Amino acid sequence: MSVDVEDWFQVQAFASTIRRDDWDSLPRRVEANTDRVLEAFSAAGVRATFFTLGWVAEKHPALIRRIVEAGHELASHGHGHERVDLIGEAAFRADIRRARQVLEDTGGVRVIGYRAPTFSIGPHTPWAHAVLAEEGHLYSSSVFPVRHDLYGAPDAPRGPHRPRPDGVVELPLTTVRAGSVHRGRNLPCAGGGWFRLVPYPVFRTGLRRVNGAEKRSGIFYFHPWEVDPGQPRVAAGRLSRFRHYTGLGRMAGRLDRLLRDFAWGRMDEIFAEAIGRTGKEAA
């Protein structure tokens, strides 16, 4: 179970509508929304991984400490929610270094995990996994093996792997395989907008197939703003508004069902063997 901790105005869907320079002037809702998530996890007895922006940690240090005190893994979502494939290697290194420093200083724990904004690590960023290793990370969960207009690496392995020998382990987002091995395609089964759009039983069936037939753990992700149907409405393009706002009103209920229907844990514990750590070390 993973949460990408960012506020409603920092999403890729609004990147061309909301200027980064305006972030500080907009109403922040990430703390209250993340507290709602923490309450839901506590009620369900779930420990998760919170991929958190350094920007959020700087603005809400008490929230970071509550995440850690509740027994969850603190991981990095970078600092300023910038796409890795657009900023280049040098800026990427500076971004993850800044984020990791503020997260560790605030949370008082080692940060070993990273997730790229908009899953923007893939074929166009062959250097990214090595940079992550050089900057002290042990794993990434940034590759989505699907076809999408904004992201995706459909030919990437669907399970844990090390893209290059000098880089970190990649824990790709969960997919189900439709069709034959050679002529089929990967379908998303990892959360986000897809989880809000498809009927819940369909999503549950796909995840059970991954757990049962494939005998693999699945990775689920969502954002705190997805449990906030009362958030401000942005005058963005039709597709952006559809992706961002559809299903927000039913997200909290679906999440509660998901927490009951499956057993969940922290990334560093569930995939401890893949990333080369024991469960005790990861905790």
CATH code of residue 197: 3.20.20.370
User: What pairing do the DSSP bridges indicate for beta strands 175-178 and 185-188?
Assistant: antiparallel
Asked if residue 65 belongs to a domain, the reply is yes
The domain in which residue 63 lies consists of 2-278
Q: How confident is the model at residue 153 (pLDDT cuts 50, 70, 90)?
A: low
Asked if residue 271 belongs to a domain, the reply is yes
Q: How confident is the model at residue 181 (pLDDT cuts 50, 70, 90)?
A: low
Q: How confident is the model at residue 248 (pLDDT cuts 50, 70, 90)?
A: very high
Asked if residue 265 belongs to a domain, the reply is yes
Share of the chain above pLDDT 90, in %: 81
Asked if 265 and 1 count as a contact pair (C-beta separation under 8 A), the reply is yes
Say if residue 278's pLDDT is above 90.
no
Mean pLDDT lowest for which of 4-18, 53-67, 182-196, 201-215? 182-196
pLDDT mean over 266-273 = 97
pLDDT mean over 173-199 = 84
Asked if residue 283 belongs to a domain, the reply is no
Say if residue 177's pLDDT is above 70.
yes
What are the tens digits of pLDDT across the range 105-124? 999 999 999 999 999 998 89
The predicted structure's pLDDT at residue 180 = 57
pLDDT mean over 35-45 = 98
The predicted structure's pLDDT at residue 282 = 40
The predicted structure's pLDDT at residue 185 = 84
Quick one: angle between helices 200-212 and 248-261, nearest 10? 30
Say if residue 226's pLDDT is above 90.
yes
Asked if residue 254 belongs to a domain, the reply is yes
Q: How confident is the model at residue 280 (pLDDT cuts 50, 70, 90)?
A: very low
Report how many domains make up the chain.
1
Asked if 51 and 113 count as a contact pair (C-beta separation under 8 A), the reply is yes
* Residue that wins the pLDDT comparison between 153 and 281: 153
Asked if residue 119 belongs to a domain, the reply is yes
Residue bearing tokens 């250097």: 127
* Residue that wins the pLDDT comparison between 151 and 273: 273
What are the tens digits of pLDDT across the range 47-63? 999 999 999 999 999 99
